Structure 1
């Protein structure tokens, strides 16, 4: 196979329409290093910035997603770029789309558009996909806010990252205090949104793009996106699943039982997730967080364009299964199986 370079996010994304997406410390270099280490361990041709990378140093294994970083990877013979970074329109990688290279990940245009959760919610709603009721809040209107939603609500960044900055709000005073904090810090830009709080079970579903896969040593072709088994979340902190940088997902998540996976409610939400993935034309896995109402009906509340892909490849990372890997294990995949199947979906840019 051609040489693979794995990119990580080296700098914060540009502000778009007044909205800022927060940056993960390290820019996903941790999961990038996990991926590189696992692939190399299984004799996949991955190049690294240094000749003898230290397994404890994440950035020895991955290239920054800057022009200098991409050019350095090309100098070392990279023909495939694994985009383990946050993408956006005019990202540096766009300059290399028409160079005959192959890519693993989403397109920059897709992420730029659908990372906006309000826009994506509107798209899903218009296609009869159930989402929680929500309302936009801006820095201009939040002091005179008259919410139509009843408390409690969930306050969220518009271009958020996992559960970072997500807060359950019990009353208007608490909402005002939290809005004051986030607008003062400008961590998420000049707008946010609230959505109704749902009291039912929370699950996460990884949706894989259509394509060829190997499952239980058999080749399978999926002619549309498909779902890995749903993972349920528990041990919430004030009603919100804790950020996985604080609590490892293995400590608060598990795949649903066989009986639960066969319920009508889960099968229905799978179809909604597949339809969502078709609408946005995914080229790599996405992760969709869903939550049930009092009657057990699931609503999609977050489409994550770049699921975390951490894994237990290095000795000091043994409890770093991502939500997607937890799910993949249910169908018999280990970390390498998951990564190699994702790698099989690599694509070339067609102008």
Structure 2
């Protein structure tokens, strides 16, 4: 196999139509280092920025997603770039896509479109995929907002990251107070949205792209996207799953048991997730968060173009299973199995 480099996010992405996607501290260098270490330990030809990377120093293992970082990797003979970073139109990697490299990750211009959660929700709704009722709130209209939705609501960034910045709102006073703070801080730009709060169980589903996979020592070909087993979330904070940068997901998440996985409701939501993945043309895994309404039917409320890929590869990271890895374990994959199967879906751009 060709030499592999893992890219991490080195800078804040540009605002899009006044909407800002916040940057994770470290730019996913932690999960990038987890990936690089695990692959290297299993004899994959991973290249690192420094000769003898320190096992505890994340950035010794990953290259920044800048021109200098990509060029440095190319000079070391890298042919495969794992895009463990936030992508967008005119991201630096686009300049290299037609120069013979292979990539693991989504098409940057697609991420630019579908990271807008309101746009994506509207697209899903137009294809009869169930989503919660929602409403856009801008810095211009929030003081005179006509709100048809009933409380409780969930206040969310339009280009958010997981549950960061997501707040349950129980009253109009609480809504105004939080909007004042959000718009004065300007962390998420000049617009946010609210959606109906769902009372039922929350699950997250990783959807894998179509392709060949190794499962239980057998090669299987999937002609469409397909779902890893659903993971349920619990120990919420005021009804919202805590941000995984604060609470490790293994402390509040577990795969549904066999009986739950076979229910009509879960099988139905799998089909909605597969259809969603087909609509946006995924090239790498995505994660879709879903929650049941009062009737037990699951609605899709958050489509994440870049699921977290942390893993317990290094001694000080033994409790860092991601939601996707928890799910993958159910089908018999360990961390390197998951990573190698994702790596097998790498693609090369063609004009």
TM class, shorter-chain normalised? over 0.9
Residues in 2 aligned to 1:98 and 1:338: alpha-carbon distance in whole angstroms: 27
Structure 1 counterpart of 2:266:
266
**Counterpart residue number, 1:63:** 63
Which residue of structure 1 lines up, in the alignment, with residue 287 of structure 2?
A: 287
Alignment-derived partner of residue 9 in structure 1: 9
What do the CA deviations read for 1:203-260 (whole angstroms, capped 9, x no partner)? 0000000000000000000000000000000000000000000000000000000000
The 1-side partners of 2:337 and 2:110 are apart by: 26
Task: State the match for 2:239 in structure 1.
Answer: 239
SS in 1 for 2:341: helix
1:208 aligns with 2:205: no
**SS at 1:79's partner residue?**
strand
Cα distance in 2 between the residues matched to 1:277 and 1:9: 24
Question: How many residues in Structure 1 have an aligned counterpart in Structure 2?
Answer: 351
DSSP 3-state at the match of 1:247: coil
* Superposition RMSD in Å: 0.3
State TM-score, norm by structure 1: 1.00
Task: Establish whether residue 102 from structure 1 lines up as the match of residue 124 from structure 2.
Answer: no
Structure 1, unpaired ranges of 5+: none
Q: Deviations over 1:134-160 (max 9, x none)?
A: 000000000001111000000000000
Other structure's SS at 2:78 match: coil
User: Mapping of 1:133-148 within 5 angstroms?
Assistant: 133-148=133-148
- What residue is the counterpart of 2:257 in the other structure? 257
Measured in 2, the distance between the counterparts of 1:307 and 1:343 equals: 15
How far off its partner does 1:350 sit?
Answer: 1.5
Determine the C-alpha separation between the residues in 1 that align with 2:4 and 2:146.
52
Deviations 1:162-215 (A, max 9, x none): 000000000001000000111001000000000000000000000000000000
Tell me the residue number matched to 1:195: 195
Q: What SS does the corresponding residue of 1:82 show, helix, strand or coil?
A: strand
Equivalent-residue separation in structure 2 for 1:314 and 1:144 (angstroms): 52
Match for residue 157 of structure 2? 157
**Distance in 2 (alpha carbons) for counterparts of 1:107 and 1:34:** 23
Runs of at least 4 residues off by over 4 Å: none
Residues 1-351 of structure 1 aligned to structure 2 (within 5 Å): 1-351=1-351
- Structure 2, unpaired ranges of 5+: none
Over residues 301-340 of structure 1, what are the superposed CA-to-partner deviations in whole Å (9 max), with x where a residue is unaligned? 0000000000000000000000000000000000000000
